[in-house]
Structure 1
């Protein structure tokens, strides 16, 4: 009779468990999301100038041994990248740990006690205990999947951080190299102005020109000297910032032997291929997966947990008895379910679901930003190319204008101010041409990064 009664109790418990599980699972609705960002088949502003023959490496766009060495040095010593690598290691350890949650827990213990309840008794106990939670609802499996997705997201974040760092180093290197070229142009400008000063000074001594002409020429020279001093200070600051990326202190970096580089156009991939090659987008997607798993875990925490506990032990009042006594064992099955804290668990589950929705919105935002970055970079490539051609033409005409004004000035048909303006036009158009070339090449690095190129 007792056996039948126990069976009924067990049956009632099982039915209660199943009903509780079904009730709680109804709260865990599958998140219905629609991607509102339409991915086009092709880039609407793609031009024929974009290369299709290069690899997916940013450094291949430059092909410079000096830059490659600089990038390798930066990757090895950059502090932000080191911090990201440590976070990746932490996520990997958590992922490895989560996989053990589904495994039984085996522990050993040795206990010694001394009691007095009328007489003094000694007790010793040695045991081997095995505990295992049955993953009936898949909660432990979800925990493992969540940790795995977070580890993948951390790995992809590290890859994107490294790619972004490489792009920043290349652009900072271009900035320093091209500024050095501009400094050289300004030095030649000053030399040309000094030559003009000498010519005007001779004409003043001969009585052919006024002192005002010489003062005007000298004022122009000192304005350019001031601009040169400012640019040299900017160059030192840029080198210091580049050295910070390298994890170093100081303003020392030799660019004197480096020729002005030209950056190839990156290979243009289709929008769909870009989505599969950008680590930051893949990381955001893994974050969505992890958040969905966390939501599932939170709802399954409302369900009863089934555990099995097994123990093999020996007991005795002395060490000899402990050795001689036979081994005993026990097997216990248990069901635990939340009762008084169910409301708190439901709130946590709803919060987890909201976090999952936020993660999906962030993914959409990253997707939109990624396609916008490519579109802006393609636009800039087109218009910077036009600007470069116009500045080249302006420089050619400025040289022709300068020659004409030199002849007019020597003939007395023009004043020194017109001559200085023509001279200024030559060097300003040259500097603008160099700056446009730098902007265009730097933009190509941004385009390559936006398309998923790395190292």
Structure 2
């Protein structure tokens, strides 16, 4: 066992993906996730989140802990020395001091200790990849929450316009009744529509405030208040190039690969535990009534070379080695699953871009026609040429299409961020 078997297979799996099934002609090459979004306000929020988010502080500390562990494990390959001094007092005799210096060194002729160092270094790289993924995911989540706030502001504005029109309907019905042009039979329906719109506005308000609270948590702040913005920003489409290159940038896949590397090395260590180990031990000791002489004057010394090999442990070591080997294979298949999911995420996001573009175009056409009908039906209703139900149908259709357009715009923009994250675009270190 050389500690690279499944790691090599996982590299081959990544390189076997030759091309993406879909492409987006209008995509552009970007270096970072933040390059996709043209908004200085959002960039400021992302920088604040990267500085203050409590989760990122924890991943940063995990890196420091892993670095200390590397230093600790590297020390196992070096000679170990210990100095001890004891004092013996007996009744009727002088005080005797005994000093001893013991030096031991395990010869790493099978690279057992080096494999342990490699495991700790791979664990450090894993912690760094985890931190990078956490940073990338945080930036994407902040951007998505920010777009949701813009969407919620736009939905609120649409609903306020709807309510204003519905209240106007109530006034128009009353005026037509006073002029003897109509009955009050439609007034209850108009009031019901207005009440329903007010309920929707109340829900939108709470959703907006909940998003603000979520943003505050992401930013590591106690509060967040966003200046209202109606228009969505421009979000570009990231370019998908070579699958191995795109997916190779993803920190979560790097983590999965490093998990295989760690499991491979642990398997190699477990098999090497079945083989003998060689250690050298040097001992220096001296006893004297003088404390100084006990430490520094002509000590007796002894040198011990020791070879140890496992003989009988009830097949325990072999079982542990086989278990480590199976664990490495299990981690390899977890990587395969992660790789397939990553490919699906990219293809899904590109497919969504095509679908959302088409849907948005159709909704825009429908909204243009509905807005023309909106004005026409209002005029005709005042003239008594159409019923209130006809007017309400056209009004409802118009505002519903505006809502759909706002939601589709948000979905399309946040999908581009999702695509960037799936292609391994992150934030600057």
CA contact (8 A) 1:302 1:342 kept: no
1:260, distance to aligned residue in structure 2 (A): 2.6
Residue aligned with 2:248, SS: helix
Aligned residue for 2:23?
A: 46
Pairing partner for 1:111 from 86, 108, 114: 86
Query: What CA distance in whole angstroms lies between the structure 1 residues aligned with 2:106 and 2:61?
Result: 32
Aligned residue for 1:443?
A: 415
Residue aligned with 2:315, SS: helix
Aligned residue for 1:191?
A: 164
Aligned residue for 1:73?
A: 48
Query: What CA distance in whole angstroms lies between the structure 2 residues aligned with 1:354 and 1:165?
Result: 34
Per the alignment, do residues 70 and 120 of structure 1 end up closer, same or farther by CA in structure 2, a change over 3 Å counting? same
- Across the aligned residues of Structure 1 and Structure 2, the Cα RMSD in angstroms comes to 2.3
Aligned residue for 1:16?
A: none
Q: Say whether 1:59 aligns with 2:31.
A: no
CA contact (8 A) 2:36 2:236 kept: yes
Residue aligned with 1:101, SS: helix
Q: How does 1:406-445 map to 2 (within 5 A)?
A: 406-445=378-417
Q: TM-score, normalised by structure 1?
A: 0.87
Pairing partner for 2:64 from 81, 89, 92: 89
Aligned residue for 2:263?
A: 291
Residue aligned with 2:75, SS: coil
1:327, distance to aligned residue in structure 2 (A): 3.2
Q: How does 1:269-418 map to 2 (within 5 A)?
A: 269-319=241-291, 321-322=293-294, 325-341=297-313, 343-418=315-390
Query: What CA distance in whole angstroms lies between the structure 2 residues aligned with 1:157 and 1:168?
Result: 16
1:33, distance to aligned residue in structure 2 (A): 5.1
Pairing partner for 2:128 from 155, 160, 168: 155
Pairing partner for 1:166 from 128, 139, 152: 139
CA contact (8 A) 2:80 2:105 kept: yes
Pairing partner for 1:204 from 177, 180, 187: 177
Larger Cα-atom Rg: 1
1:222, distance to aligned residue in structure 2 (A): 1.6
CA contact (8 A) 2:154 2:230 kept: no
Runs of at least 5 residues in structure 1 that lack an aligned partner in the other structure = 1-24
CA contact (8 A) 1:177 1:255 kept: no
1:404, distance to aligned residue in structure 2 (A): 2.7
CA contact (8 A) 2:4 2:265 kept: no
1:314, distance to aligned residue in structure 2 (A): 3.1
Query: What CA distance in whole angstroms lies between the structure 1 residues aligned with 2:292 and 2:59?
Result: 57
1:401, distance to aligned residue in structure 2 (A): 1.5
Query: What CA distance in whole angstroms lies between the structure 1 residues aligned with 2:198 and 2:94?
Result: 99
Per the alignment, do residues 210 and 30 of structure 1 end up closer, same or farther by CA in structure 2, a change over 3 Å counting? closer
Deviates more, 1:353-362 or 1:312-321: 312-321
Query: What CA distance in whole angstroms lies between the structure 2 residues aligned with 1:83 and 1:67?
Result: 24
1:114, distance to aligned residue in structure 2 (A): 4.2
1:15-46 deviation digits (Å, cap 9, x = unpaired): xxxxxxxxxx79x9966957667843221121
Per the alignment, do residues 328 and 83 of structure 1 end up closer, same or farther by CA in structure 2, a change over 3 Å counting? same
Residue aligned with 1:307, SS: strand
1:261, distance to aligned residue in structure 2 (A): 1.3
Runs of at least 5 residues in structure 2 that lack an aligned partner in the other structure = none
Q: Say whether 1:100 aligns with 2:75.
A: yes
